[in-house]
Structure 1
Amino acid sequence: MSKKKEARIIDMIRSFLIACSFLTVLPVPRPDWTERNTRFFSLALPLVGFVLAAAWLAAFLLLSCWDVTPLLRGVLMGLVVLAVTGGLHRDGLMDSCDAIFSRRDRETRLRILSDPHSGAFAVTGCVAVSLLQSAVFAELFARPVGVTPLGLLAAIPVWSRLGLGLLLNALPFARDDGLARALGAARTPRHTAVLILGAGAFAAALAGLEGVRALVLPAVWLAVLLLWGRCCTRGFGGIAGDLLGAFAELSETAMLLALAALR
């Protein structure tokens, strides 16, 4: 292996470790946050999704063995999903709700995104997503063993992080500084193409394993991705860190609702 390829692999591993330590509470080593170490950050996001998928699946299987009501298991599963990311995305959702529903001009919305205080819209959005996710998990736990497609359940955080990578690569930055610009500093059209191809390959793999019904998830994911991308562009002039977090929460909630509708 050439030194150039070896250096590229090392940079990819470092980008993955940085992404995993930033987006999860898992105790992984964190390399120095440098431009070189983060140049594959967006490509590492789906890999973090697979790590979260393993956590989702493990928690769901463990809770399935506990002889308590589906409601309690659903609430606990919702808390696991929230805890494994340290509430990072939920915080972005809350800030985004305050900004969007303020119905103010673009500059004021951007200031609200940076405001550490939470308003009524933030609390409302947080409660709504928490209730919906817990309710869906309770519904899945209430079904007979073997009915819930565990492969599709585990795929949800992967799809969500694929969307984060595409938004980070494809949209302009809402601010001249900020988290999104720092994370997407090394983005390239090539990275966008790789993520799109990866999304297509992932959808095909899921369809092969779970059948045509698996295509419901990427269809819902794509709809949320396009709608949220338009919302970010028109309402904020581009993407910001909090808006990325909001997409993760909204896309996961939408896909969970779609999964609950499958029989």
Structure 2
Amino acid sequence: MKAFILALQFLTRFYIPIQVDFSDKNLRHSLFFFPWVGLLMGYLLTIPFRIISKQEIAALLVLILWIAFTGGMHLDGLSDMADGFFSNKEKDKILEIMKDSRVGAFGVISLILILLSKYVLLSQASLTFYSLPGVLAGARFANSLIIGTFPPARPDGMGRMLQKTKPLPYILVSGILLLVYLFFMDRKLLLVLLVQVLVVGITSFISLKKIDGVTGDNYGANVELAEAFGLLVLGLV
């Protein structure tokens, strides 16, 4: 229970008045629940589509709630990564830019593109009851794989904090259970998950080349990109 609560506190802005220690054990176990927190958020986000008949209006409300649920945490990571990676600087300068709280031109462009893409895809795609939960769960599982396998770029950042707990076995077990769930709920979501894993893998290899690892900003960007590409796959199939 502590691990699930920690995952909720880590990934969402839901009010949970329970204190959980950020110990290695709790962090390691919490990574098991990352996809399932995404699944929970996804089911909550399907509600507007059930009560609002006009899909474009529902899509706008869903997008606002989506940002509210996470506090824009992943969007912040995407904008920081865009500013750093498109600066064409050396590793140390890229890391400095990514750590800067100010948002540059590339960061603003990335935010506009990702939000516009999500809105268009939400307002046009034929979504089943399981589609959006599957997209959010898949994005967080794909990102968890990166957390468990790619080296952190900073000696004291979020990547180091999470990876030193050695969470990969818990991530893999969670992934197997997620595959079973998606298989029985909506098999199209297996293709979505495959694309999401490929997307975060590509962006993480680019990060490995540029800054010798991944950071918390990369994790946030991975989630945003995986969600957008997941919606794109649903729109295409």
Q: What amino acid maps onto 2:56 in structure 1?
A: L
Q: Is structure 2 residue 52 aligned with structure 1 residue 66? A: yes
> Which residue does the alignment assign to 1:254?
229
Q: What amino acid maps onto 1:175 in structure 2?
A: R
> Which residue does the alignment assign to 2:116?
131
> Which residue does the alignment assign to 1:26?
14
Aligned length: 236
Q: What amino acid maps onto 1:66 in structure 2?
A: I
Quote the offset at 1:30 in angstroms.
3.2
CA distance in 2, matches of 1:74, 1:95: 26
The equivalences for 1:176-187 within 5 A come to 176-187=155-166
SS in 1 for 2:130: helix
Q: What amino acid maps onto 1:157 in structure 2?
A: L
Residues 227-248 of structure 1 show CA distances to partners (whole Å, capped at 9, x for unaligned) of 1221121112111111100000
Aligned counterpart for 1:210 among listed residues 186, 201, 223: 186
> Which residue does the alignment assign to 1:14?
2
Q: What amino acid maps onto 2:235 in structure 1?
A: A
Cα RMSD for the two superposed structures = 1.9
Any conservation in 1 of the 2:40–2:133 contact (CA below 8 Å)? no
Distance 1:27 1:45, change over 3 A: same
Q: Is structure 2 residue 229 aligned with structure 1 residue 240? A: no
Quote the offset at 1:201 in angstroms.
4.0
Q: Is structure 2 residue 202 aligned with structure 1 residue 223? A: no
TM-score by length of 2: 0.91
Distance 1:186 1:71, change over 3 A: same
Q: What amino acid maps onto 1:39 in structure 2?
A: R
Which is worse superposed, 192-201 or 252-261? 192-201
Distance 1:228 1:128, change over 3 A: same
Q: Is structure 2 residue 133 aligned with structure 1 residue 148? A: no
Residues 75-103 of structure 1 show CA distances to partners (whole Å, capped at 9, x for unaligned) of 22111111110100000000000011111
Distance 1:57 1:30, change over 3 A: farther
Aligned counterpart for 2:24 among listed residues 35, 50, 58: 35
> Which residue does the alignment assign to 2:89?
104
Q: Which has the larger Rg?
A: 1
CA distance in 1, matches of 2:180, 2:27: 29
Quote the offset at 1:170 in angstroms.
0.4
Instruction: Write out the 4+ residue segments of structure 1 that deviate beyond 6 Å after TM superposition.
Output: none
Distance 1:32 1:196, change over 3 A: closer
Q: What amino acid maps onto 1:27 in structure 2?
A: Y
Residues 40-99 of structure 1 show CA distances to partners (whole Å, capped at 9, x for unaligned) of 2322312322222222223432xxx224x4333222211111111010000000000001
Aligned counterpart for 2:174 among listed residues 190, 198, 211: 198
Distance 1:66 1:137, change over 3 A: same
Any conservation in 2 of the 1:42–1:165 contact (CA below 8 Å)? yes
Quote the offset at 1:197 in angstroms.
4.5
CA distance in 2, matches of 1:162, 1:22: 15
The equivalences for 1:152-171 within 5 A come to 152-171=131-150
CA distance in 1, matches of 2:30, 2:185: 29
Distance 1:54 1:260, change over 3 A: same
Quote the offset at 1:151 in angstroms.
1.1
TM-score by length of 1: 0.83
